Amino acid sequence: MMEGSRKKVVWSVAFILVAAAAVVLAQSEEGAVAYRQRIMSANGASMGAINDILKFKLPVSNEHIAAHAETIHRESQLLADAFKAQVTAGETRALPEMDFLRAMTEGIGPDGTIFYPVFPYTAFTKMTRQDVLDLKAYLFSVPAVKQENKPPELGFPFNIRSGLHAWRLLNFDSGTFEPDGDQSEEWNRGVYLSMALAHCGECHTPRGTTGALDEEMPYAGSREGPESELAPNITPDQETGIGGWSLADIVWFLQTGFKPEGDDAQGLMGEVIEHGYMHLVESDLQAIAAYLKSLTPIRNVVEPSAQ
């Protein structure tokens, strides 16, 4: 793998992880209230996780929420110079539901523009239609901030959008998450939360040279996670992963940030727990833990890249 091409994996979806279906601590508008009540009780997305977006000054004007959505949140290996865009509703609030759905889950703007995969529509595509619309209801309830978006600054050949057609053919599978009838309701719940809402793999799965997740190494850890922080192996491997953790250990960690040995989460994971996971209902944390424990153990030592 081309390590040099991966050194600027920054501003990834660590903070949009739980934010894809999250709520702020206090919102009065009807859509936001309905979102908070339904998602917290039914989908377990964490209160306050949207604040992780807002604290990075990422307001989105309504007219740009789709057209420039590709510049939200993270730089991928090959698109490291893309700027972040706004994620609050702007002066106009008339973006049709279908346009928002298509942008979020298909990566295509109202005018047909194909988004760069720095906007994680590859993960959002697994969300249910109602969850996406609930997220829209929340985002459009946030006070508008008028701010001009900066265009991506990408070098050749990555500034040629037509090349995204090939990338999508190789790396993008659209479609809402489908429960596995052979698995328990709790397990399916854990998969949905981990993949569609929490996006655990966006940080904990290493990436290939095209910036796509390495499907052969799911959750096996990445030495160049968001903001160049190490993202540890969270498969149940006894030596390099969390195989020694019990279900209760995983739940406790997501609630408090404390590991079984007494160490605590630092950096971005600590923030994700503080603003996200610790607000989930315990049954959802248990579902996530059950799913993680069911993963195939992968031996992968995650260490800093050689400088």
Q: Is residue 117 part of a domain?
A: yes
CA distance 224 to 205: 10
Please tell me the distance from the alpha carbon of residue 22 to that of residue 118, in angstroms, as a whole number: 20
If asked whether residues 142 and 206 sit together in one domain, one would say: no
Residues 101, 49 share a domain: yes
Cα distances from 46 to residues 74, 192, 238, 261, 285, in angstroms, run: 20, 14, 29, 26, 11
In angstroms, the CA 95 to CA 98 distance is 8
| Domain annotation covers residue 151 | no
129, 276: one domain: no
Instruction: Lowest mean pLDDT of 89-103, 150-164, 196-210, name the range.
Output: 89-103
207 and 235 co-located in one domain: yes
Query: Which of 171, 204, 233 delimits the end of a domain?
Result: 171
Half-sphere exposure at residue 103, Cβ-oriented, CA atoms within 13 angstroms: 25
What pLDDT shows up at residue 94?
63
Token pair for residue 37? 């009540």
**Cα–Cα dist 283/286, whole Å:** 5
Confidence of residue 87 (pLDDT cuts 50, 70, 90): low
> Is the domain of 13 the same as that of 115?
yes
Q: How many Å apart are CA 193 and CA 21, to the nearest integer? A: 9
DSSP state of 186: H
Structural domain boundaries, residue 269:
185-294
Radius of gyration over alpha carbons of the chain, in Å? Answer: 18
- Terminal Cα-to-Cα distance of the chain (whole angstroms): 16
- Same-domain pairing of 192 and 285: yes
What gap in Å lies between CA 135 and CA 50, rounded to an integer? 10
pLDDT value at 304 more than 70:
yes
Query: What is the distance of C-alpha 66 from the center of its chain?
Result: 17
Contact, 11 vs 113, CB < 8 A? no
The mean pLDDT of the chain is 74
Which residues are CB-contacts of 179 (< 8 A; sequence separation ≥ 6)?
188, 191, 192
- pLDDT at residue number 35: 42
Tell me, yes or no, whether 303 lies in a domain. Answer: no
CA distance 85 to 123: 18
Residue 225 has a pLDDT of: 79
Q: Which pair of structure tokens corresponds to residue 81?
A: 């110079």
Number of domains the chain contains: 2
Q: Is the pTM of this model over 0.75?
A: no
Query: Rounded CA gap, 193 and 80, in Å?
Result: 27
Does residue 245 sit in the same domain as residue 121?
Answer: no
If asked whether residues 9 and 121 sit together in one domain, one would say: yes
